[in-house]
Each structure stands twice: as C-alpha cells, then as structure tokens.
Structure 1
Amino acid sequence: MTVLVLGVLALAVGGCVCVVWAERGGPRWVCAVADVTLAAGELLRVVRRSRRRSLKRSDSGQD
C-alpha cells in the first residue's frame, strides 16, 4: 500500500514539474505530460462537483 501511495505521489509531483517546465517552453514530451496532468486535474474537479451535488440532493430528499 505504501508503494502505491508513493507511486501516485511521484506521478503527481512529476506532472506538476512538467506543467511548470512546459510553461517555460520545454520539449514536446513535457508539453504532452503537462496536458495530461491538467486534463486529469480537471476530470477530478468535475467528479468532485458531481459527487457534492448528488450528496446535497440525497440529504435534502430526506427532510
């Protein structure tokens, strides 16, 4: 379990480094990794919003 958490952490930190590097004009592969990182972040935001909305709906329906 620890190895899995460390692997996810390493991917997240590496993605953030690539985003900063791509902003400064890095190579093509860095820009691709940065795009994937930003898309994954946006996907997580959308999922989190939809979960919050569904929780609010289920809470309000019980009154």
Structure 2
Amino acid sequence: MLVLILSVLVLLAVGGVVCVYWTARGDAPRWARGVATATDVLSEVALKANKNSTSRNNGGD
C-alpha cells in the first residue's frame, strides 16, 4: 500500500514538472498553467520548510 501511495506521489510530481516545462514553452492550455503554478507554489513551500528545518538542526548557522 505504501508503495502505491509513493508511486502516485512520484507520478504527480513528474506531471507537475511536465506542466511547468510545457508552460515555459508558451503553448500550454489553461489547466496546464494552473498545474504549473500549483507545482511552483508547492516547491517554494517545500524549499522554505527544508530551509527552516536545516537552520534549526544546525543551530541557526
């Protein structure tokens, strides 16, 4: 069951990256632009969470 959940998450991430690339080319439909925006926002949230987690573990360096 865990493998299935992780597989779905990986497929969603790959689909998001494809939509970001498609949007960057300039010929994506509206739904793909929405998926690309959501992917960008979620990646920024993940980066900030990782940065906060790393700074707490390193004593704020």
Q: Same fold (TM over 0.5)?
A: yes
Cα RMSD (Å) of the superposition?
1.2
Identity percentage of aligned residues = 31
What secondary structure is seen at the aligned counterpart in 1 of 2:4? Answer: helix
Length, aligned pairs only: 58
Superposed, which structure 2 residues align to 1:7-46 within 5 Å? 7-25=8-26, 26-46=28-48
Q: Find runs of 4+ consecutive structure 1 residues off by over 3 angstroms.
A: none
Cα shift readout 1:18-59 (whole Å, capped 9, x = no counterpart): 00111122011100100000111111000000001111128x
What secondary structure is seen at the aligned counterpart in 1 of 2:58? Answer: helix
| TM value normalised by structure 2 | 0.89
- Which protein shows a greater Rg? 1
| TM value normalised by structure 1 | 0.86
Structure 2: give runs of 5+ residues left out of the alignment: none
